[in-house]
């Protein structure tokens, strides 16, 4: 089964990000948008795994969650990967992401120990909003991103209280995410 470990966003935050997507859609750029209800912060994409690993992965989530207390996240600016000239992914970053980075790195180390492959790139905390399919209206899209970044008012922060192992089922209408295991962070 295809899986990933993530932080789920509150409905209010998903709706705010959906509004930004609607503004960006007005550019006519060729983007495959993440459905607002599916927007999340991926900590580790596991890909196809054997069901036999679920218990080990759940144990790792329990162990890491027990060492990390609840924390708040505040969203930051919009950006693109890999760069403005050849954008492929539209994302929004985090203001202070050290705890997210620490958790992602701890997950990486533990998951390698049970035989899952290491990431080829260092972890960058971001939330994907869309994937660019072609260069159509590229300039308008970048201009709109920059304009939105100038006008972004203060984002309300939200509490991160759990880590979730998701199953992702790909369909012609887009992925369907199902929570397989949810582990609360410590209330230290």
Catalytic residue list: 40, 126
Q: Which string of DSSP letters, residue by residue, matches 62-95?
A: HHHHHT-B-EEE-EEEEEEES-SSS--EEEEEES
Cβ–Cβ < 8 Å for 20, 77: no
Rounded-to-integer distance, Cα 183 and Cα 59, Å: 10
Cβ–Cβ < 8 Å for 140, 28: yes
Rg (CA), the chain: 17
């Amino acid at each position: 089964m295809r899986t990933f470990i993530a932080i789920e966003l509150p409905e209010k935050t998903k709706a705010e990000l959906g509004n930004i997507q609607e503004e960006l859609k007005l550019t006519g750029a060729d983007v495959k948008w993440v459905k607002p209800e599916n927007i999340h912060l991926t900590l580790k994409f596991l890909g196809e795994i054997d069901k036999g690993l679920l218990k080990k992965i759940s144990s790792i989530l329990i162990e890491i969650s027990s060492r990390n207390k609840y924390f708040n996240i505040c969203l930051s600016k919009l950006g693109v990967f890999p760069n403005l000239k050849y954008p492929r992914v539209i994302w929004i970053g985090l203001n202070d992401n050290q705890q997210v980075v620490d958790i992602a790195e701890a997950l990486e180390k533990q998951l390698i120990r049970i035989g899952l492959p290491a990431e080829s790139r260092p972890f960058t905390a971001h939330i994907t909003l869309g994937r660019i399919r072609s260069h159509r209206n590229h300039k308008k899209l970048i201009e709109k991103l920059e304009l939105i970044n100038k006008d972004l008012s203060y984002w309300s922060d939200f509490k991160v209280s759990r880590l979730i192992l998701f199953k992702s089922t790909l369909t012609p209408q887009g992925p369907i995410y199902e929570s397989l295991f949810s582990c609360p962070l410590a209330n230290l």
